[in-house]
A and B are shown apart, each in its own frame.
Chain A
Amino acid sequence: MLEPWIFIALLLGVGMLLPGVAIAANWLLSPKKPNAIKQSTYECGIETVGETYVQLKGAYYIYALIFVVFDIEAVFLFPWAVAYDKLQLYMVLEAVLFIVILAAGLAYAWRKGVLEWV
């Protein structure tokens, strides 16, 4: 019962190992001559101005939140889709109601203008 997951764990491990080996090969074969200018932050050739961690805009938060809501909706709909063959029409319509309510939420966000980018 756990067999396919062992393969997945091994493949994920291999997926991290092979690039790790490649990067290690790069580290072995590359010259190592660090100096202050090479390691300074890149900003098109001029000196850095101000703090590195700038404050983000509110639009990112809204996008992340809408993504969370729709992600959870998709997760709710997956078992329904698996059981689809055994359902009757009214059960399908109940899930359609679920989708319509969330679409109404999206329409509200659209009308409020929060879906415009910066």
Chain B
Amino acid sequence: MDSFWIDPFSFIGSQLAAWLTGLGLAENWVSLILQLVGALALGTAVLMLTFLLIWAERKIVARIQDRLGPNRVGPYGIFQTVADLLKLVTKELITPEGADLLPYNLAPLLAVMSVVGLWAVIPMAPTLLGADIHVGVLYIVSVGSIGTLGILLAGLSSNNKYALLGAFRTVALMISYAVPMALALLVPVLLAGSMSMQEIVLAQKGLPFLLLAPVAALIFFVSSIAEVGRAPFDLLEAESEIVAGFHIEYSGLKFGMFFVAEFLHAFTISALTAVLFMGGWRGPWAEQYTALGFLYFLVKTSLVYFVVIWIRGSFPRIRIDQMNALNWKLITPVALAGLVVTAVAEKVALELGAPRLLTHLAGNALLIFAAAAGLGAYARAARRRSELLAKASKAEAPAG
């Protein structure tokens, strides 16, 4: 019974394996069934988590906006999401005429699949990891973009020109923000020397990477929020813009699946930020008592998710040309520069024997200073341009 409290996950796994072997199955089948059970449990847990996430988001955003949020259905409105789900289940599935049936029905499945697939490589405890592959970080980049493909399919097959335009704008936005996300993901790989997620968590022994590379962490966080399509980057699903975007022609639970995929994606990137930059399951006594590691992971992820919701409630929506300008003119150059700064600072600190943390912090501070100076120069040039335009139009007006 002792080993259950010390390491519940391995304990449950070994008990199941022993029971299955006792039934007389071969080794391969036992491991296959264990993996199937694990996959089902992970998939179901993650989708059930969405109920809690939607409720938490609505309550927190409501409090930020000085109102109460759902509080009728169940204590503190906990069952509100269940009620919404039941309503969606009974809606009629209207398929628009002329829609391409196979991509039309495949798109919501692809959107959910890409988010659930990300959970395979997130280490939730020292012994609770779905698949410890050596290319974990690149896997995240690739599977995360399958969601983009799902949105493209949805827009293309809906036989609706607004769905098409909305889908292409969404896809252009998502692939634009995937560039700084991939570049920022290079920094933990660099510092840890491996692409495996478990290795990255293990390499944050003394210092979380948040302290070593704050710029990269911030860039990853911001570009992930833009990838997911959350506020303040949610122009494309605002009701007053392009009539609700790519999911106009979806009804019932097909739309519900897109909704679930978005909320779950927000939580998933919070988990990724916590694992890659804040140390994941690291904490006092986490190696001996793995359940504690799981608790630390949940606390860190919830903290980051709270910041995501906080940002949603606090910022106004950004216009699409501002979003693109922000990405290509500020975030991508800063991401490139941050990568260079981290790479050079690490080697320089090693060769000169300087303290590692201070060198990195100095490099990052220099980078932030340079970025702020660049922003100032850009703003001054833009203001001068607009003043010149105003003067030119004023000069034309009395003549015209």
Interface on A for B, CB 8 Å cutoff?
3-8, 10-16, 18-20, 22-23, 25-27, 29-34, 36, 38-44, 48, 50-54, 56, 59-60, 63-64, 66-67, 70-71, 74-75, 77-78, 81-85, 87-89, 92-93, 95-96, 99-100, 102-103, 106, 109-110, 115-118
A74 and B183 contacting across the interface, CB-CB below 8 Å: yes
A-facing residues in B119-144 (Cβ within 8 Å) = 119-121, 130-133, 137-139, 141
The CA of A106 and the CA of B49, in the complex, are separated in Å by 41
B42 and A11 contacting across the interface, CB-CB below 8 Å: yes
Interface on B for A, CB 8 Å cutoff?
31-32, 35-36, 38-40, 42-44, 47, 88-98, 105, 108-110, 112-117, 119-121, 130-133, 137-139, 141, 159-162, 164-165, 168, 172, 175-176, 178-179, 182-183, 185-186, 189-190, 193-195, 243, 248-249, 252-254, 256-257, 260, 320-321, 324-325, 328-329, 332-333, 336, 339-340, 343-344, 346-348, 351
Per CB-CB distance, the 10 closest pairs between chain A and chain B, nearest first, are A15-B116, A4-B131, A117-B321, A14-B43, A15-B113, A26-B253, A10-B39, A74-B182, A81-B190, A81-B189
B133 and A11 contacting across the interface, CB-CB below 8 Å: no
Residues of B near A3 (CB, < 8 A) are 31, 35, 131
Which B residue sits closest to A10, measured CB to CB?
B39
The CA of A82 and the CA of B43, in the complex, are separated in Å by 30
The CA of A88 and the CA of B248, in the complex, are separated in Å by 54
Question: Known: A18-B44, A78-B186. Is A23-B253 also a contact (CB below 8 A)?
Answer: yes
A50 CB, nearest partner CB in chain B, Å: 8
Residue in A19, A30, A115 whose CB lies within 8 Å of B93 = A30
Which B residue sits closest to A100, measured CB to CB?
B340
The CA of A50 and the CA of B161, in the complex, are separated in Å by 9
A92 and B343 contacting across the interface, CB-CB below 8 Å: yes
- 26 pairs of residues in contact across A and B, judged by CB atoms under 8 Å: A3-B35, A8-B131, A11-B116, A12-B116, A12-B117, A16-B109, A18-B47, A18-B116, A26-B90, A26-B252, A50-B161, A52-B161, A67-B179, A70-B182, A77-B339, A78-B137, A81-B190, A82-B193, A82-B194, A84-B190, A92-B344, A92-B347, A106-B328, A110-B329, A117-B324, A118-B321
A-B contact count (CB 8 A): 236
Question: Known: A42-B243, A74-B141. Is A14-B257 also a contact (CB below 8 A)?
Answer: no
Question: Known: A26-B89, A106-B332. Is A44-B36 also a contact (CB below 8 A)?
Answer: no
The CA of A110 and the CA of B302, in the complex, are separated in Å by 38
A10 and B35 contacting across the interface, CB-CB below 8 Å: yes
The CA of A117 and the CA of B344, in the complex, are separated in Å by 34
Which A residue sits closest to B249, measured CB to CB?
A42
The CA of A95 and the CA of B89, in the complex, are separated in Å by 53
Question: Known: A54-B161, A82-B193, A82-B195. Is A8-B117 also a contact (CB below 8 A)?
Answer: yes
Residues of A near B117 (CB, < 8 A) are 8, 11-12, 15
